[in-house]
Amino acid sequence: MDLYFFDFDKTLYTYDFNFRLPALSAMTGASQYHLAKTWWTGGFEVRAEAGEWPTSGEYLAEFERVTGSPLTLQNWQEARALASTVIPASVDALRRASTLGTVSLLSNNPSPFAESLAVLAPDVTAIVGENRLVSCQLGVRKPETQIFELALAHYRARPEDTFFVDDSARNVEGASALDIHAHQLTYLHGVPQTDLLDAAITRFAGRNA
């Protein structure tokens, strides 16, 4: 059976850090500059996405240690939700793919995201169920080849029977290097080109016809 991997941020939902950072600042009392410099510029978010703090509790404890600002999981969820808006046509494409084969999330994100998907995106959760692979759980981030190898092994899938969509050209290149059918969701004047995604799914599903 065919396998369909979907990225999350900027693929199924938009993502704008400019909404998230002010919310975190208001919640913690720390300046936006301080939070950005210590946590994000300091490389801690990338390390979290690679699995260094595999549970929300560990992530939040490290966030407080680095920034000096306590943060609850609910705070994290509320700020993250402000940065994300559903792309209806992309979720429709995910739903359509679920009728053609197995669908799964494949996302670069930290442990609070992995534990909060049902809160952040109940529509996506309803479609993928437990089929969600987040980089923090796999211990490696896209576009590294290993994450795609692990994802394929998880579903016992062959690259030639696998479709992958992501907004990042580098991530698409990483998947393509393993002969996965990869499609980049591009934007034109800030609008995701979901018609091209739908056409790519159609081509992939009909490739053996």
What's the confidence (pLDDT) of residue 11?
Answer: 98
* Percent of the chain residues topping a pLDDT of 70: 100
The reply to whether CATH 3.40.50.1000 applies to domain 3-14+85-205 is yes
Mean pLDDT of 156-185: 98
In whole angstroms, what is the distance from residue 142 CA to residue 168 CA? 9
- Which amino acid does the sequence have at 70? P
pLDDT at 75 over 90: yes
Query: What is the model's pLDDT at position 97?
Result: 98
The 3-state secondary structure of 110-128 reads: CHHHHCCHHHHCHHHHHHH
Say if residue 104 is exposed, middle or buried (CB neighbours under 10 Å; 0-12, 13-18, 19+). Answer: buried
CA 163, 165, 171, 172 torsion: positive or negative? positive
Q: Using the predicted structure, report yes or no on whether residue 209 has a pLDDT greater than 80.
A: no
pLDDT in tens, 94-149: 999 999 999 999 999 999 999 999 999 999 999 999 999 999 999 999 999 999 99
* Per-residue confidence (pLDDT) for residue 84, from 0 to 100: 97
Q: Answer yes or no: is pLDDT of 163 > 90.
A: yes
Measured CA to CA, the distance from residue 113 to residue 208 in angstroms comes to: 36
Whether the per-residue pLDDT at 197 is higher than 90: the answer is yes
pLDDT score, position 105: 98
Once rounded to an integer, what is the mean pLDDT over residues 179-186?
98
Please report the pLDDT score of residue 208 as a whole number: 82
Q: Characterise 69 by phi-psi region: left (phi > 0), alpha (psi -120 to 50), beta (else).
A: beta
What pLDDT does 112 receive? 98
